[in-house]
Amino acid sequence: MRLDALTLELLRNYLHGAVEDMAYAVERTAHTTFVKETADFTCGLLNPSGEFFAYPVELGVASMAGINYARTIELAGPLGHGDVIITNDPYSSLAAATHLPDLHLVRPIFWEGRLVGHGAGFLHCSDIGGMVPASISPRASEIFQEGLRLPPKKLFIGGTVNRDLLDVILANCRIPEQNWGDLQALVAGLVTGERRIHALIQRFGIDVVEKGMDDLIDYTARKVEALIRRMPRGTFEFTDYIEDDVVTDIPIRLKVAMTVGDGLIHLDFTGSDVQVGSALNVPTGGRAHPFMAIALFNYFITKDPGIPLNAGVLRPIRMTLPVGSVVNPQFPAACGVRYATVLRIYDAVLGALARALPGEIPAASGGQGCMVALALPDLEAGRRHVTVIEPMIGGGGARPGKDGIDGCDASLGFLKTTPAETLESEVPAIVVRRFHLVADSAGPGRWRGGHAVRLDLQVFRPEGQVTARGMERLRFQPWGVAGGKAGATGRVVLNPGTPGERAVPKIDLLALAPGDVLSIRTPGGGGHGEPLERPAGQVLADVHAGLVTPAHARDAYGVVVTGGATTTDGTVPTDGAIVTGGAIDSGAAIDESATAALRGERRASATAPPGAFDFGAARDAHERRWPSDLQDSFVALLMALPLPYRAYVRRELYPRVTALAERQPVTAGDLARLWQELAAASSLPASLVDPPPPASGQPLLRKESRT
C-alpha cells in the first residue's frame, strides 16, 4: 500500500460517505417502486480501469462489488466529460451486466482534463421489452426473447442525451416514462459521485486520491487473504442441483471444487451442467465473477465485518468456468432468471466451505427467491394488472450455535413482505387467508433450520393468473450439515382442507377460478449437528410454541413429550396446520426416562456416519441412479459435443441412462454405448466425443495466473 495507514482510513470513511450519498440519491429520485422496495440497484466508484474501489453497503445489492467494467469502457470508445455509457448486454459487456433488465451506466470522472475514475451503477428496470411483461420468462430460449440488447453505447455525449439511442430504447419497453425516470435517477447518483470525488481531490490532493483507489482495493484483498490463510489447505468438492431446467425435468448439476491455497482460493466449476435451453444460465464471461462466490463473500464479511466491499474481495479468488456450461453460457443463451441458479451456486460453494471447515458453516437454506404475483383483469387499463403478492424464500439454514432464521435466509435477506392489509386495500378481490410458519418443516439438528412459510391466498374474481418465478426445492430438500437433517421441501396446494383439495406442480402460470384458495409453502432450512444432541428442553420449547408436533419431536429428535398433545379445541394438530386457538397446551412435558431410552436406542442403531451431510431421500435416490462419476462422464460427454447439439443430446440421452439405471448400475461403458446408439439414430458422428475428455480441470493456483 502506498498511502500511510491513517490517510487510508480517513479516505475510506470519506469514500464510504460518498458512495452512500450516491446510492441515496438514486433511491430517493428513482421512479419505480421496484427500485425503492427491493433495492435492486447499486451506485459506486470505479478506478480508471473499471474496478469498484468504493461501494455502498447500506442500500442496494452487495453482490455486485466485484463486477468489472473494463470491457464496457473499452467498447464505448474514447470518453469525454459528461459522457454516460449504457449497457445491459451480458455478452458484449463480458458479464458486467448479467441479464437484460439490469441497465448499467458508467460515467467518467475527469480532473484537470485527466481521467481519474468513473461513477458506475445499475438498476433493475421493471421492463425492457421481450416476450413477457417485466421481460423475464424462465421459458426464454434465446436472449433475443428477453428484450432489447444494448451493447456498451453512449446514452449521453458531453452532457447531452443521445436522443436517437434513447428513443430506440424507450420504443422497446412497456414502461418508457418510468424507465427514463429511473435512468435519470441513476445519472443523478453518478453526478453526485463526481462532485464527491472532486471535493476529495480538493481536500487531499489528486495524488492521495489516486493512490487511495488502489490502496483500498489492496486493503480489502489483504483482509480477505488473511482470512483465507486461516482456512485449511486442500481441495473440497460439492454438488447441488436446480431441480429441473423448466423445459425438461432434468436437474441442472452445479459442481464446484474449491481449492484453498496460500491466500488464494480457486473455484473450479468443471462438471457443472452444459448451458440450458431456458433462462437459467449465468453469464460470467468466463472470468472470476462475483455471482459465483457470494457464499465466500458472506463468509468473509461475517468473519470480519470491517472488510470494505470493493473489487478487492474477488482478487484472491480464481475460477474455472467451462465454456458453454451453465456458468459460462455462450451467446445467445437466455439468462433472465440467472439468479435462481446463483442461489444454488451459493449452496454449492457453501457446501464446499462446510467440507473445508467442518462444523463451522451453516446448512442450506430454502434456496429460492420466489416472487408470487397475481394478474387480474384491469378494466380501466384494458389489460391485466399485476400485483406482487409476497416474496417466498424459505427457512434459513441452521448455524453452528444458532437455529436458522424462520422464513428467510441471509442470501435474500433484503426482501420485504407486503402487509396483508395493504394488499387487500389495493386489490379488493383478494384475501390473504394465512401467512405463517409451518410446523415440523425445519431440518432437525442440534441447531434446527429455520421454518418454512405458508401463504394462502383466496381470489374472488375470475381470470386470475398466478406466477411464481423462481420456485425451487419442491423435490430436493435443503441439505443438513454436520449430522443435521435436511429441511422440508416446498409444496403447492389448491383449496386445502376442502373436498376439492389438490396438489399442484411447480407453478409456471396457474389460472384460478373465483373463490379458489392457493396455498404455497416454501422449503424449510437444513439442520446443523446431530438432532439427538439437541437438548430436550429446546425441543419442548418448540412443542410449546407449536413449531414442533409431539410426533415430530419423537421421530426427529427422540424426545418423548406427554400431556400436551392436543390443542385447546381438542384436535390433534396434523401436518403443521394451525388450528384455531392454535397454541399447544403448555402442560406438555418431557418423559425423561422414555426420552433417554429412545435416544440411546437411536444412537445405537445410527447408520449415517457422524457429522455427515443429509441430502434427503429424493436426492439420494437420484444419485443412486446417477452417481457422481457417471454425472462427470455425462457432462464431459456433452461438453465435448459442438455447442448446438448439447441440449439435444442431453434431453435424449438422459432418460435412456435413467431407464437403464432403474435396472442396474450404469458404467462408463454403458454410457458410451447409449451415446453411440443415440448418435447412430440421429445421424451424429459418434467420434465427436472420442476420446472422452478428463473428468475435471486442474486447479490453477499460481499467483500470476489469470483465469
Partner 1 sequence: MGRYWLGIDIGGTFTDFTLYDTVTHGVTGLKVPSTPPDFAQAVEHGLDALAGEHRIDLREIDVAVHGTTIAVNTLIQRTGARLGLLVTEGFRDVLEIQRLRLPNPLDMNGGRPEPLIPRARVAEVRERLRADGRVDTALDEAGVATSARRLADEGAEGLVISLIHAYRDPSHERRARAVAAAAAPGVPVSTSHEVWPEAREYERTALAVLDAYVQPKVRRYLEGFEAALRARAVPAVAHVTKSNGGIMPVAAARRQTVATLLSGPASGVIGAAYVAGAAGLGNLITLDVGGTSADIAVVEDGRPRSSTAEQIGGIPVMMPVVGVTAIGAGGGSVAWVDEVGVPKVGPQSTGANPGPACYGRGGKEATLSDAFVVSGFLDPERFLGGRMPLDRSLAEEAIRRYADPLGMGVNEAAESVVRVAVSNMYAAFTKILSRAGIDQRDFALVAFGGAGPLVGSLLAREVGIPTVFVPRSPGTLCALGAITADILNDAVRTVHGRLDALDLRALAREQRALEADLLAWVQEHGVQVASTSFRHGADMRYVGQSYEIEVPVDPSSFEAGEAAGLLRAFHTAHERVFGHADPHAPAEIVNLRVQLRGVRPRVPLVEVAAGTGAVPTGARRIWLDGRPAQARVYERASLGRGDRVAGPAIVEQPDTTVLVPEGDVADVDRFGNLLIKREA
Strands (E), 55-113: 84-87, 102-111
Q: Label the pairing between strands 160-161 and 383-392.
A: unpaired
CB of 545 to partner 1, least distance (A): 4
List 64, 296, 374, 408, residue binding partner 1 (CB under 8 A): 408
Contact flag: residue 231 with partner 1 (CB under 8 A): no
Contact flag: residue 551 with partner 1 (CB under 8 A): no
Dihedral angle of Cα 109, 111, 117, 118, to the nearest 10 degrees: -10
CB of 169 to partner 1, least distance (A): 18
Distance, in Å, from the CA atom of 270 to the CA atom of 323, rounded to the nearest integer, reads 10
Contact flag: residue 146 with partner 1 (CB under 8 A): no
Whether 63 and 139 have beta carbons less than 8 Å apart is answered as no
Residue 61 or 148 with smaller CB distance to partner 1: 61
Contact flag: residue 204 with partner 1 (CB under 8 A): no
List 498, 586, 667, 682, residue binding partner 1 (CB under 8 A): 586
Q: What is the DSSP string of 363-388?
A: -------EEEEEEEEETTTTEEEEEE
Residue 12 or 506 with smaller CB distance to partner 1: 12
Residue 587 or 665 with smaller CB distance to partner 1: 587
**DSSP collapsed to 3 states, 31-43:** CCHHHHHHCCEEE
Contact flag: residue 24 with partner 1 (CB under 8 A): yes
| Angle, CA 233 vertex, CA 230 and CA 239 arms, to 5° | 110
Contact flag: residue 5 with partner 1 (CB under 8 A): yes
Distance, in Å, from the CA atom of 14 to the CA atom of 213, rounded to the nearest integer, reads 12
Residue 138 or 391 with smaller CB distance to partner 1: 391
Smallest CA-to-CA distance from 485 within 557, 579, 572 is with 557
- Among 80-88, 400-408, 521-529, 531-539, the segment contacting partner 1 (CB under 8 A): 400-408
List 165, 247, 415, 494, residue binding partner 1 (CB under 8 A): 415
- Among 89-97, 142-150, 406-414, 593-601, the segment contacting partner 1 (CB under 8 A): 406-414
Smallest CA-to-CA distance from 275 within 626, 635, 631 is with 635
List 48, 57, 565, 640, residue binding partner 1 (CB under 8 A): 57
Q: What is the DSSP string of 168-197?
A: HHHHTSS-HHHHHHHHHHHHHHHHHHHHHH
CB of 472 to partner 1, least distance (A): 18
Please give the distance of CA 570 from its chain centroid, rounded to a whole number.
43
Smallest CA-to-CA distance from 101 within 393, 343, 339 is with 339
| Angle, CA 229 vertex, CA 53 and CA 240 arms, to 5° | 85
Residue 94 or 345 with smaller CB distance to partner 1: 345
Contact flag: residue 681 with partner 1 (CB under 8 A): no
Ranges within 252-311 binding partner 1 (CB under 8 A) = 297-299, 301-302, 305-306
CB of 418 to partner 1, least distance (A): 7
Residue 415 or 678 with smaller CB distance to partner 1: 415
Distance, in Å, from the CA atom of 88 to the CA atom of 99, rounded to the nearest integer, reads 7
Contact flag: residue 391 with partner 1 (CB under 8 A): yes
CB of 417 to partner 1, least distance (A): 5
Ranges within 418-477 binding partner 1 (CB under 8 A) = 418-422, 424-425, 428, 431-437, 453, 456
CB of 300 to partner 1, least distance (A): 10
Residue 93 or 458 with smaller CB distance to partner 1: 458
Distance, in Å, from the CA atom of 22 to the CA atom of 491, rounded to the nearest integer, reads 41
Contact flag: residue 570 with partner 1 (CB under 8 A): no
Whether 576 and 440 have beta carbons less than 8 Å apart is answered as yes
**Which amino acid, 637?**
L
Binding mask 312-341 for partner 1 (x = CB under 8 A): ------------------------------
Contact flag: residue 568 with partner 1 (CB under 8 A): yes
Please give the distance of CA 389 from its chain centroid, rounded to a whole number.
20
Dihedral angle of Cα 321, 324, 328, 332, to the nearest 10 degrees: 170
Distance, in Å, from the CA atom of 138 to the CA atom of 243, rounded to the nearest integer, reads 14
Contact flag: residue 74 with partner 1 (CB under 8 A): no
Contact flag: residue 581 with partner 1 (CB under 8 A): yes
CB of 584 to partner 1, least distance (A): 8
- Among 1-9, 277-285, 493-501, 502-510, the segment contacting partner 1 (CB under 8 A): 1-9
What are the C-alpha distances in Å from 655 to residues 253, 642, 675? Answer: 15, 21, 12
Residue 140 or 540 with smaller CB distance to partner 1: 540
Contact flag: residue 31 with partner 1 (CB under 8 A): yes
Contact flag: residue 25 with partner 1 (CB under 8 A): yes
Which cell goes with 694? 478428463
List 414, 645, 648, 654, residue binding partner 1 (CB under 8 A): 414
Q: What is the CA radius of gyration of the chain?
A: 26
Contact flag: residue 544 with partner 1 (CB under 8 A): yes
Contact flag: residue 229 with partner 1 (CB under 8 A): no
CB of 1 to partner 1, least distance (A): 8
Contact flag: residue 139 with partner 1 (CB under 8 A): no
Q: Label the pairing between strands 589-590 and 317-320.
A: unpaired
Ranges within 336-365 binding partner 1 (CB under 8 A) = 362
Dihedral angle of Cα 440, 474, 520, 412, to the nearest 10 degrees: 90
| Angle, CA 574 vertex, CA 568 and CA 575 arms, to 5° | 135
Contact flag: residue 483 with partner 1 (CB under 8 A): no
> How buried is residue 376: exposed, middle or buried, by Cβ count under 10 Å (0-12/13-18/19+)?
buried
- Among 2-10, 137-145, 259-267, 498-506, the segment contacting partner 1 (CB under 8 A): 2-10
Determine phi and psi for 46, rounding to 5 degrees.
-105, 150
CB of 107 to partner 1, least distance (A): 18
